[in-house]
């Protein structure tokens, strides 16, 4: 069972929590109807994402076998056969299509918009898998757009309008994680050799500069989000002070990346770094206080 969970990369489903962003920032997290719609969208996105991961691992079997960590993936290591992986892929696609069709009964108002987002995410990631991941800068931009699509899907599923600053914040935050991952791969490549063609378009100095710019944009976008008229009107004005947690989390992430070189996988830092975990909990608690205890 564990090998199938690894094939689906269930630990990566944490990225799909961005589907809940519109619900959280709108102050409707306790609305059970909207929460149910967000969970439904989360499940669909998770199934589609796992299907894409299988395609990616299938196409990268040979290169993954040369990577010190990726060689342990089920397909690269041989614990799951190619035919089994194809069967699981077909099953995931079938389940995803079925749930999308059922989705018209959950969010009929924006059904076609939601379906378009799901389709765009799937085919964009197929293009990424077979071509675009080999093109420097475009590769990290595609990853960041994937997070934006998650947020848009959550908005269409619930019918909640999304702030422009929230969309831009999502993009630059995802860009930080993607660039941090590329930097980690560059550091690893110095020891074991390059395992990704797009790395030819990067070097550590460029990654450091791009990461610094992106981190600055994250702070600026979050600051502008908290100061925007609609947010100030919806929440208590002191929501502005939650920027403190964002700044600390960004600094901690930069420390892990630039000082300790520990962020080749952006999800690992969330699962392992207690400082960032505590900061996230405090940020969520502080933001909830602004929403529900004004």
At 191 the pLDDT is 66
229 and 135 inside one domain:
no
Percent of the chain with pLDDT over 90: 46
A 10 A CB-CB count for 94 gives: 12
Can you tell me the distance from the alpha carbon of 258 to that of 248, in angstroms, rounded to the nearest whole number?
15
pLDDT at 218: 96
| Burial of 78 from C-beta contacts in 10 A (0-12 / 13-18 / 19+) | exposed
Q: Which two tokens stand for residue 138?
A: 């475009």
Whole-number Å distance between alpha carbons of 294 and 164: 24
**Domain identity same for 156 and 23:** yes
Q: What is the band of 292 on the pLDDT scale with cuts at 50, 70, 90?
A: low
CATH for 121: 1.10.357.140
Same domain, 129 and 194: no
pLDDT tens per residue, range 18-44: 999 999 888 788 889 999 999 999 999
Q: Which of 121, 144, 162 is the last residue of a domain?
A: 162
Q: Decide which of 162, 191, 226 is a domain's last residue.
A: 162
Residue scoring higher pLDDT (78 or 110): 110
Taking only the tens place, the pLDDT of each residue in 196-206 is 677 888 999 99
The verdict on 148 and 177 lying in the same domain is no
Same domain, 195 and 148: no
Specify whether 94 is located in the same domain as 158: yes
Find where tokens 């702030």 sit. 163
Asked if residue 194 has pLDDT above 70, the reply is no
Together in a domain, 176 and 102: no
Asked if 174 and 294 sit in the same domain, the reply is yes
Is the pLDDT at 225 greater than 80, yes or no? yes
What's the CA gap between 219 and 2, in Å, rounded? 38
pLDDT for 181: 87
Radius of gyration of the chain (CA): 19
Domain limits for position 195: 163-294
Length of the chain: 294
279 has pLDDT over 90: yes
pLDDT digit string (tens) for 175-185?
998 998 888 88
Output the CA angle 171-177-183, nearest 5 degrees.
130
How many structural domains does the chain have? 2
The pLDDT of residue 264 is 62
Judge whether 204 and 186 are in contact, CB under 8 Å.
yes
pLDDT at 66 over 90: no
Q: Are residues 137 and 176 in the same domain?
A: no
Listed residues 112, 141, 162: the one ending a domain: 162
**Residue 51 scores a pLDDT above 90:** yes
Can you give the pLDDT at residue 93?
95
């Amino acid at each position: 069972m564990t090998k199938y969970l690894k094939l689906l990369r269930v630990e990566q489903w944490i990225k799909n929590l961005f589907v809940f962003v519109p619900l959280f920032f709108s102050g409707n997290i306790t609305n059970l109807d909207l929460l149910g719609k967000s969970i439904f969208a989360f499940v669909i996105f998770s199934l589609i994402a796992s299907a894409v991961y299988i395609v990616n691992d299938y196409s990268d079997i040979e290169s993954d076998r040369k990577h010190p960590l990726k060689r342990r993936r089920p397909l690269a290591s041989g614990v799951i056969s190619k035919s089994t992986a194809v069967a699981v892929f077909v099953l995931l696609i079938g389940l995803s299509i079925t749930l999308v069709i059922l989705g018209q009964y959950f969010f009929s108002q924006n059904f076609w918009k939601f379906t378009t987002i799901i389709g765009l995410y799937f085919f964009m990631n197929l293009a990424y898998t077979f071509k675009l991941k080999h093109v420097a800068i475009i590769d990290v931009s595609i990853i960041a757009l994937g997070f934006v699509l998650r947020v848009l899907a959550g908005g269409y599923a619930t019918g909640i309008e999304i702030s422009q600053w929230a969309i831009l914040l999502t993009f630059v935050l995802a860009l930080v994680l993607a660039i941090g991952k590329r930097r980690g791969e560059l550091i690893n490549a110095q020891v074991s050799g390059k395992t990704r063609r797009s790395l030819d378009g990067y070097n550590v100095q460029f990654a450091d500069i791009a990461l610094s710019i992106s981190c600055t944009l994250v702070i600026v976008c979050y600051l502008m989000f908290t100061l925007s008229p609609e947010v100030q009107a919806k929440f208590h004005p002191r929501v502005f002070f939650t920027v403190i947690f964002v700044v600390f989390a960004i600094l901690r992430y930069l420390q892990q990346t630039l000082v300790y070189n520990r962020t080749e996988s952006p999800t690992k830092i969330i699962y392992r770094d207690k400082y960032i975990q505590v900061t996230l909990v405090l940020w969520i608690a502080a933001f909830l206080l602004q929403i529900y205890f004004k």
